[in-house]
Amino acid sequence: MSARSAVVITGANGEIGHALIERLTEHGQDAVIALDLREPDPSVAKRCAQVVVGDVTDAASFERVSDQYDVRAVFHLAAMLSTSSEKSPERAQSVNVDGTLRALGFAMARSARRGAKVSFVFPSSIAAYGVPSLAEKQRAGAVREEQFNAPTTMYGVNKLYGEHLGRYYSRHYRQLAQEPNPPGVDFRSIRFPGIISAFTVPSGGTSDYLPEMLHAAAQGKDYACFVRDDTRIPFMAMPDAVDAILQLADADAAKLSSVVYNVSAFNPSPAEFSERVLRAFPQVKITYAPHEKRQGIVDTWPADLDDSLARRDWAWAPKYSLDRMIDEYLLPNVKQRYAGV
Ligand code: SER
């Protein structure tokens, strides 16, 4: 009997991990193997064929993934986000870069075992961009993948390098080796904007202000936003982020002209977003207390992303506009989640 097909998800207990695992186990055929630093929430763990609690920087964590499975894909979600990474850049390097190297090594080894490529999806970030000034940000408008690739945060530096590592592993790995390489990895990455989930709250990111505002208001709590009310960066709804990951993973390799793709949906300022939040939760107060350094970081991120390459190569199109996300996804779910709070 052939081994059961499986996908490995690092950072399984994070925000994207929760949503991706739910989707994969509801609609997919693969066994899901979760790897996370902490024991995943019971709602995640119960959906997984195997749970490995371990650090992505430690090769031994990957060695514990059961040999019983034919690992056909790795979704390498484990990362320290931008605000956390600025507090501890050396640890960020270790998690975001060494962890990625370990995950790529694991995928390489599994490709040798299965005699076929292992698909590798890497969520990169808007943080890979570094726009030098606010004036330039306003002038730039929707930014393409190859523009402003000089990030100002450790997280952005790490993510940009992760993209390069993936390109190297999938196209040029050990190009001077005498012995043949294993089939290797099929690496694909997405530069995500801020992501908003109705079910989880982010931590350690610099785009956290919109989801924090929504989740605070839904619990009847006031919120002091840590960036100016006119700050503008792109966002998208979590279900669209999961769709993007799965669509890119399944896309026909012959149609992919890049290993890195922008995706985007809308870009409300906190003032615009809060207006809608306050319509739903009029009893709360939203104020602004910009944090100088965090403001400085989002000011270097583009106001908009040009995702025409993803639209052309793999038919990317978000399902949720800002209004639809708020009315059909966020409000019904957060109201239910916090009912009685
Ligand atoms: N949400 C991320 C962060 O703020 C951006 O990719 O760090």
Tell me the pTM: 0.97
Nearest CA owner, ligand 1 atom 2 = 205
**pLDDT > 70 fraction of the chain, expressed in percent and rounded:** 99
Q: What is the DSSP letter of 326?
A: I
Give which of 135, 141, 127 is closest to 298, Cα–Cα: 127
For the stretch 295-340, pLDDT in tens is 999 999 999 999 999 999 999 999 999 999 999 999 999 999 999 7
Task: Give residue 68 CA to ligand 1 midpoint distance, Å.
Answer: 35
82 lines ligand 1 (CB under 6 A): yes
126 lines ligand 1 (CB under 6 A): yes
Q: Report whether pLDDT(173) > 80.
A: yes
Counting ligand 1 atoms within 8 A of each CB, the residue from 207, 238, 299 with the most, and so the one to mutate, is 207
**pLDDT > 90 fraction of the chain, expressed in percent and rounded:** 98
Task: Say which range, 132-136, 176-180, 283-287, has the weakest mean pLDDT.
Answer: 176-180
Tokens of 66: 């059961």
Counting ligand 1 atoms within 8 A of each CB, the residue from 83, 84, 155 with the most, and so the one to mutate, is 155
Average pLDDT, the chain: 97
Name the CATH architecture for the domain at 79-197+235-265+301-320.
3-Layer(aba) Sandwich (3.40)
For the stretch 53-94, pLDDT in tens is 999 999 999 999 999 999 999 999 999 999 999 999 999 999
Task: Give residue 206 CA to ligand 1 midpoint distance, Å.
Answer: 5
127 lines ligand 1 (CB under 6 A): yes
Question: How would you class 35 by CB atoms within 10 Å of its CB: exposed for 0-12, middle for 13-18, buried for 19 or more?
Answer: buried
Question: How would you class 73 by CB atoms within 10 Å of its CB: exposed for 0-12, middle for 13-18, buried for 19 or more?
Answer: buried
For the stretch 151-166, pLDDT in tens is 999 999 999 999 999 9
Helix 15-27 vs helix 238-250: crossing angle, to nearest 10: 60
Q: What is the pLDDT of residue 341?
A: 67
* DSSP H/E element including 275: helix 270-280
The domain segmentation of the chain, as residue ranges, is 79-197+235-265+301-320
What type of residue is 63? E
128 lines ligand 1 (CB under 6 A): no
77 lines ligand 1 (CB under 6 A): no
Q: What is the pLDDT of residue 211?
A: 98
pLDDT class of 1 with cuts at 50, 70, 90: low
Task: Give residue 273 CA to ligand 1 midpoint distance, Å.
Answer: 18
153 lines ligand 1 (CB under 6 A): no
Task: Give residue 156 CA to ligand 1 midpoint distance, Å.
Answer: 9
Task: Give residue 267 CA to ligand 1 midpoint distance, Å.
Answer: 14
Q: Report whether pLDDT(31) > 80.
A: yes
Give which of 72, 85, 57 is closest to 9, Cα–Cα: 72
Nearest CA owner, ligand 1 atom 6 = 125
